[in-house]
Amino acid sequence: MEKKSTLRSPRTLLSLLVAVAIVVAALLVVLSQLGGPGAGSAEDVGELYSGIPQDGTTLGEDNAPVTLYLYEDFQCPFCGKFDREMFPDLIDDYVRDGNVRVVSETMAFLGPDSVTAARAAFAAGEQNRYWPYHTLLFENQGEENSGYVTDAFLRDLAEDTPGLDVAKWEDQRAGNSFTKELEAVQAKAQASGVNSTPTLIFEGPNGKVKIDRLTDYDQITSAIDKVDGS
């Protein structure tokens, strides 16, 4: 019996190591899909928005025929999924060539971290760097209401935001609560019947299309084609 036990031990250990390796690999895949810390980079963000006009919370050409009003909460996991998986394609397909401009309607209803993140993004918007900071927030999104939105976390993102004067950003974040901006978005959301995030409202020459149950990119393409009219 002792010989059999001795012979089985290395095999058992090997099996355990293989099992642990599989679990770790699966966990890494899940974390990468969720956009955990470190998923984005300053270089990637700089490339994504390179050459596209930014004015506060507006992205794209002023004379674009279609405007997208994008209602998001920085803690919303579905918003994070949209921003990581679909938004870059929307930028490359429609915003970069001047067909669509995007207006961020930043909501903060999921908890204190939402408010703190929104204020930090608005502060970046004071230097017309709202959008790269917005993307980094979603790329590094943590678990909802876990307290992950700390000053150190926000400053790290600021330091990774291309073209952002971090010292000036700190002053702007400390000196402005951006309460009026958040209240204005909340009022606009209520008037537009927005009660979930992400909600996308497209407006163009041929009218308006609202998407509040986004499941695939084809919905976006269809909405733009419908309101564009060109």
Residue 195: Cβ within 10 Å count: 11
30: nearest Cα among 143, 188, 194, 178: 143
Q: Are strands 66-73 and 199-204 parallel, antiparallel or unpaired?
A: antiparallel
Q: How far is CA 108 from the centre of its chain?
A: 14
Q: How far apart are CA 201 and CA 192, in angstroms?
A: 9
Q: Identify whether residues 220 and 151 lie together within a single domain.
A: yes
Q: Identify whether residues 133 and 23 lie together within a single domain.
A: no
Contact (Cβ atoms closer than 8 angstroms) between residue 46 and residue 162: yes
State whether the Cα torsion 116-213-186-84 is positive or negative: positive
| Mean pLDDT, all residues of the chain | 86
How much is the pLDDT for 43? 75
Q: Identify whether residues 47 and 104 lie together within a single domain.
A: yes
Q: Identify whether residues 23 and 122 lie together within a single domain.
A: no
- 26 lies in which domain range? 1-34
> What is the percentage of the chain residues whose pLDDT exceeds 90?
78
Q: Identify whether residues 104 and 12 lie together within a single domain.
A: no
In this prediction, residue 42 has a pLDDT band, given cuts at 50, 70 and 90, of confident
- Going by the DSSP 8-state scheme, the letter that residue 109 receives in this structure is -
Helix (H, G, I), strand (E, B) or coil at 66: strand
Q: Identify whether residues 216 and 124 lie together within a single domain.
A: yes
pTM, to two decimals: 0.80
Q: Does pLDDT of 6 surpass 80? A: no
Higher model confidence: residue 168 or residue 40?
168
In this prediction, residue 181 has a pLDDT band, given cuts at 50, 70 and 90, of very high
Peptide bond into 198 cis (omega under 30): yes
Q: Identify whether residues 54 and 154 lie together within a single domain.
A: yes
Q: Identify whether residues 12 and 118 lie together within a single domain.
A: no
| pLDDT tens per residue, range 60-107 | 999 999 999 999 999 999 999 999 999 999 999 999 999 999 999 999
Helix (H, G, I), strand (E, B) or coil at 213: coil
| pLDDT tens per residue, range 126-158 | 999 999 999 999 999 999 999 999 999 999 999
Q: Identify whether residues 205 and 105 lie together within a single domain.
A: yes
Number of compact structural domains in the chain: 2
- CATH number of domain containing 88: 3.40.30.10
Q: Identify whether residues 24 and 49 lie together within a single domain.
A: no
Q: Identify whether residues 166 and 197 lie together within a single domain.
A: yes
Residues 138, 142, 148, 151: what is their CA dihedral angle, to the nearest 10 degrees? Answer: -20
| pLDDT tens per residue, range 16-31 | 444 444 433 443 333 3
Q: Identify whether residues 28 and 54 lie together within a single domain.
A: no
